[in-house]
Structure 1
Amino acid sequence: MEYTVETRCLHLEEEKNKDKDFGSVSFPIYQTATFAHYGVGRSTGYDYTRLQNPTREQLERIVASLEGGCDAIAFASGMAAIATLMECFKPGDHLIVDGDLYGGTIRLFNSVCKNKGIEITAIELAKEDPLPYIKENTKAVYVETPTNPMMNITDIKKLSEITKEKGLLLIVDNTFLSPYFQNPLSLGADIIVHSGTKYLGGHNDTIAGFLVTNREDVKEQLRFFYKTTGAALAPFDSWLILRGIKTLAVRMERAQENAMAVAEWLKGQSCVTKVLYPGLPEHPGYEVMKKQARGFGGMLTFEVDTTERAQGILEHVKLIQFAESLGGTESLITYPVTQTHADVPKDKLLENGITDRVLRLSLGIEGKEDLIADLAQAFTAASK
């Protein structure tokens, strides 16, 4: 029997070992570093938690099921997942990446990957054809869609047709939409990246990352680097993400409802010069999103008329918290130029439209009336 995505957030198609777990509804936390053997050549199937752990394996099976992959690998953070992924490339390899990415990813590409001899070319994949940039040593294309923070939308299927024709890996960061709203593997991607800290965890209480693939050859390579570099997610954190995924469907729906309501409200404010939310029909990626995703998500970015107003809003929000991160039950407002993208060169920020007047909102599950009222009072206070 094939379950719906809502059900797969809680149950695998074939649950195993229920008797061994004493019928536990909440999957047990195997908080152990190592596993004893019955004798020489007689293993339980587990050796050492860096290599495998039952709690983490349950989480990995569920994430793989949600994304339609043959394997999902759970890491200690989203950046640990991306850093391990980059071990698949060697000096002299060339990657084409989106110009608008999370600042930590940009930092890794520019400061670590380039120093290791990996060539990086950043372009606007939502607007530019990557074909002219593909070279003999090009190995992969890396994209976020929607991008962080400017909410650019790339047509994954169209891009995958190019990467498959050229024999390149297509890597898609699916953090903003989660597997509830978007499944890049079904659109032709080879590897999915998740910051599990965000929507998968959903409660702002733990850090995790994932790589998911539907290719056996890629799975073997990723598993080798995973066990070798040792960036595995701990058992208790695995359990926290398992717990978070149980409410993924209801949280994503509520966050999207709130994002749409707040986006419409922002459009009516005279001091707001730009609202970037792919659920708005005027967004340039709206039609692509309708085609490749089941929803628009809970993230939006907006720009106000002055730096003073932007900073005043941050000073005066009360219910919405001024903090980094996203995807949790609580709504958060972020200032990209000093937080998520603080290490990105100023000229690159301006090129991407990230100014000191730009604010990013992650809508949580509070009442939308309360969120709008909080923004309204913050806007009023910032005008004084």
Structure 2
Amino acid sequence: MMKFGTKAIHAGIEPDPTTGAIMTPIYQTSTYVQPSPGQHKGYEYSRTQNPTRDALQNNLAALENAKHGLCFASGLAATDAVLKLLKPGDEVLASNDLYGGTYRIFTKIYQDFGIKFKFVDMRDLNRISEHFSDKIKMVWAETPSNPMMNIIDIKGLAGVCKKFGSMFCVDNTFATPYLQNPLDQGADVVVHSVTKYLAGHSDVVMGCLMTNSDVLQEKLAFIQNSSGAVTGPMDCFLALRGIKTLHIRMQRHCENGRRVAHFLKSHPKVEEVHWPGFEEHRNHDIAKKQMKDFGGMISFVLKDDKLDDAIKVMESLKLFALAESLGGVESLCGHPASMTHAAIPREERLKAGLKDSLIRLSVGIEDVEDLIADLEKALG
């Protein structure tokens, strides 16, 4: 079996049969010529199939040790496709610390179609069963979570979901397949915002789903084609190019993240640092067991928890650009309460520990000494 770095470069990729080109061609076409009605070479219309997208889907499936991969126009389009598996009256159990866009599509769109969402703390596996009922058809979890870096026991929760007959979906965007593989731990569907670490260069918007279930693959492929939220061939090409260095980039993200987390933890103006690599981080032992390393995502709160102080720090940073998104080669900082998680009511955010002054860092692959110097100067 190929190791991860080899799969990132070679899995699902074949030289172009016509020219021998080693890079997957960009099949920039909407339709395909048929010699006779209904007789084609597997391709009819690019919403349904495209060779560049097929190569990417096969590559992504291999990285997650999955049988099937499906790509969509964004991470939320991928999430939308999964939710279309549900029916009115169904209930979804979701982690209470999750991406604001996911919370928004749950509560502002699908809730109006008669689907109920329950948001709970999933870190304590011993108490999770009390939230289940025969109406819970799907469980949705992020680990590490956005932005509190909470860790959920994937294998343990998968066992509970199986017991109650609930589909288990894991958003693996923060960890990437390089750090953990939820399908191997019992998840039914893995969700990624390819926009982030997978593409890795802040030049693509895309989402994907992976599964080992032939039944789910058939249903999701039908939704992908019928709803039409597919990604274009140029973006697929860029994602394939980005994935070729995923393992190298993630190594550096992890190395830099470790250094930055420890710097922040020791800084006199910092009150809290959320990073699963700390031994005192809740469920650190689980993270250590189910992840290869702890990633480059960090969030922190200043002493006195003053919003004005946090804004001043973010505005003073130079290398950490103040911007939405994460997972690119460049370092970014963000203010979840007003940016990525603005859709979540303040009371709900605070219950999950997401304070108004919390700063989220996506630690890039620059020289870490420069990143620490940037933080040191901004913190003052």
Q: TM over 0.5, yes or no?
A: yes
1:368 alignment counterpart: 368
Select 1:113's aligned residue among 110, 113, 116.
110
Counterpart for residue 93 of structure 1: 90
Q: Which residue of 2 aligns with 1:42?
A: 39
**Paired position in structure 2 for 1:6:** 5
Q: Secondary structure at the match of 1:69?
A: coil
Matched, 1:64 2:61: yes
CA distance in 2, matches of 1:276, 1:117: 35
1:196-228: CA deviations, max 9, x gaps? 000001000110000110111111111111111
Q: Which amino acid aligns with 2:106?
A: F
Gaps of 5+ in 2: none
1:134 pairs with 2:118 = no
Structure 1 residues not aligned, in runs of 5+: none
Asked whether the 8 Å contact 2:13–2:59 carries over to 1, the reply is no
Alignment of 1:286-365 (within 5 A): 286-305=284-303, 306-365=306-365
Alignment partner of 1:366: what SS? coil
Give the letter aligned to residue 5 of structure 2.
E
Residue 75 in 1 paired to residue 72 in 2?
yes
Partner of 2:247: 249
Letter in 1 for 2:157: L
Deviation of 1:289 after TM superposition, in Å, equals: 0.9
1:147 maps to 2:145: yes
Contact 2:171 2:191 (C-alpha < 8 Å) held by counterparts: yes
Q: CA deviation at 1:127?
A: 2.5
Query: What is the distance in 2 between the residues matched to 1:138 and 1:280?
Result: 34
For residues 349-382 of structure 1, give each alpha carbon's deviation from its aligned partner in whole angstroms, at most 9, with x where no partner exists.
Answer: 11111122200000110000000000011111xx
2:21 counterpart of 1:24: yes
Q: Relative to 1, partners in 2 of residues 1:216 and 1:356: Cα closer, same or farther, differing over 3 Å?
A: same
| Aligned residue in 2 for 1:159 | 157
What are the within-5 Å matches in structure 2 for residues 201-240 of structure 1?
Answer: 201-240=199-238
Rounded to whole Å, the distance in 2 between the matches of 1:179 and 1:251 is 13
Cross-structure match for 1:55 = 52
Aligned-residue offset at 1:19: 5.4
Q: 1:150 to 1:15 in 2, by over 3 A?
A: closer
For the 8 Å contact 2:16–2:22, the answer to whether it is kept is no
When structure 1 is superposed on structure 2, of 214-223 and 277-286 the one drifting more is 277-286
Q: Deviations over 1:296-339 (max 9, x none)?
A: 11101111122222111111001110111000000000000110
Distance 2:254 2:112 in 1: 40
1:21–1:28 CA contact under 8 A, matched in 2: no
How far apart in 2 are the matches of 1:240 and 1:284? Answer: 37
C-alpha contact 2:76 2:101 (8 A) present in aligned 1: yes
| Contact 2:320/2:333 (8 A) holds in 1 | yes
1:123 and 2:124 aligned: no
Q: CA deviation at 1:15?
A: 5.0
Secondary structure of 2:201's counterpart equals coil
* 1:310 and 1:358 in contact (8 A); partners too: yes
DSSP-derived class of the 1:198 partner: coil
Shift of 1:41: 3.5
> 2 CA distance for matches of 1:19 and 1:77?
27
Mapped contact 1:145–1:174 kept (Cα < 8 A): yes
3-state SS in 2 of match to 1:338: coil
Q: Whole-Å Cα distance in 2 between the matches of residues 61 and 333 of structure 1?
A: 33
Q: Which runs of 4+ in 1 moved over 3 A?
A: none
In the alignment, the residues of structure 1 paired with residue 356 and residue 129 of structure 2 have an alpha-carbon distance, to the nearest angstrom, of: 33
- Preserved CA contact (<8 Å) 1:38 1:44: no
Residue by residue, what CA displacement relative to the aligned partner does 1:122-166 show, whole Å, maximum 9, x if unpaired? 100113632112112210110000000001000000001111111
Deviations 1:13-70 (A, max 9, x none): x754x35241212110000011111213320110111000000000000000000111
Question: What CA distance in whole angstroms lies between the structure 2 residues aligned with 1:63 and 1:339?
Answer: 29
**Cα distance, 1:111 vs. partner?**
0.7
1:270 alignment counterpart: 268
Considering only aligned residues, what root-mean-square deviation do their CA atoms show, in Å? 1.1
3-state SS, counterpart of residue 333 of structure 1 = strand
Does the CA contact (< 8 Å) of 1:310 and 1:356 recur in 2? no
Identity %: 43
Tell me the secondary structure at the aligned position of residue 300 of structure 2. Answer: strand
Residue type of the alignment partner of 1:7:
T
Please tell me whether the aligned partners of residues 126 and 154 of structure 1 are also in contact (alpha carbons under 8 angstroms): yes
Q: C-alpha distance in 1, partners of 2:123/2:116?
A: 21
SS at match of 2:374: helix
What residue is the counterpart of 1:171 in the other structure?
169
